[in-house]
Amino acid sequence: MHPTTVNRASLAPVTTILTPAERVRVDAAGEGLYTAMHRDSIDDVIRDVKELRASAVLVSVTRCGPRDAPRVAMLVREFPRVPTVALLTEVESNAPTSVLTLGRSGVQTLVDVRQPAGWRVLRDVLLADQSRDVSRLALAQLSADLVGAQGRDLGIGEALDLGHGEAVDLRRRQGRELRRRHARDLGDGQVGDLGRR
């Protein structure tokens, strides 16, 4: 493999329901960042989320209208951690109705790519969930490591600054674990002053 070639299997899978012209543009915008899996129905998109663990869903305002609303609402409701994003590429006469219908279905993000800056916003939105996943995995591993720390004060809480409050939660967990171990070591009734950190 060439050093600059990205393994497509390692890219975030994004399932879509788009027009043929939108598919080409979404593929170009995501080159090297995500793998777009283009589908022709909402049921196929739902299957991707269930079976292929799609990291995001991209729906076209042009393709998804009132007839698709119940299935889109079910998708958003059943998979709240998978962001569903509406894509606006052109304003046709049905676009306002479709945007409102998607919003009522639970779609909370609309990206307007009629201007070039919109494609950057789309990439940011589709990749934002990946960074949250990495943070969650790192915190889960650190939490597991802290439980097995056997009373050592690792100071890891101060070293972390993930920007979403996780470091504070981790420090609290570390403090609770250390207080429990200290109390167990001292025995019942001899806890002493172990105020909150």
Amino acid at residue number 11: L
CA 35 to chain centre: 15
Number of residues that this document lists for the chain: 197
156 secondary structure, DSSP code: H
Q: Give the separation between CA 86 and CA 121, rounded to whole angstroms.
A: 12
pLDDT at 197 over 50: no
What integer pLDDT is reported at residue 158 of this predicted model?
A: 42
Contact 62, 101 (CB under 8 A): no
Phi, psi (degrees; rounded to nearest 5) at 33: -115, -40
Q: pLDDT tens-digit profile of 58-114?
A: 999 999 888 999 999 999 999 998 999 999 998 888 889 999 999 999 999 999 999
Burial class, 10, CB count within 10 angstroms (exposed 0-12 / middle 13-18 / buried 19+):
exposed
pLDDT at 49: 93
pLDDT reported for residue 5? 46
How does the average pLDDT of the chain come out, rounded? 76
Give mean pLDDT, residues 9-21: 87
Gap between the Cα atoms of 48 and 10, Å rounded: 16
**Domain extents for the chain?**
8-130, 148-186
- The CA dihedral of 180, 181, 186, 188, to the nearest 10 degrees, is 40
Contact 8, 33 (CB under 8 A): no
pLDDT of the residue at 165? 47
Give the pLDDT of residue 61. 93
Helices (H), the chain: 20-29, 42-51, 69-78, 95-104, 117-147, 156-159, 166-186
CATH superfamily of 8-130: Response regulator (3.40.50.2300)
Structure confidence at residue 93 (pLDDT): 81
Residue 27: its pLDDT value, please?
94
| pLDDT exceeds cutoff 50 at 4 | no
Q: What's the token pair of residue 83?
A: 């962001």
What's the pLDDT tens digit per position in 134-191?
A: 555 565 566 666 665 555 544 544 444 444 444 445 556 666 666 666 566 555 444 4
Helix (H) or strand (E) holding 38: strand 34-38
| Nearest residue to 14 (alpha-carbon basis) of 40, 49, 47 | 49
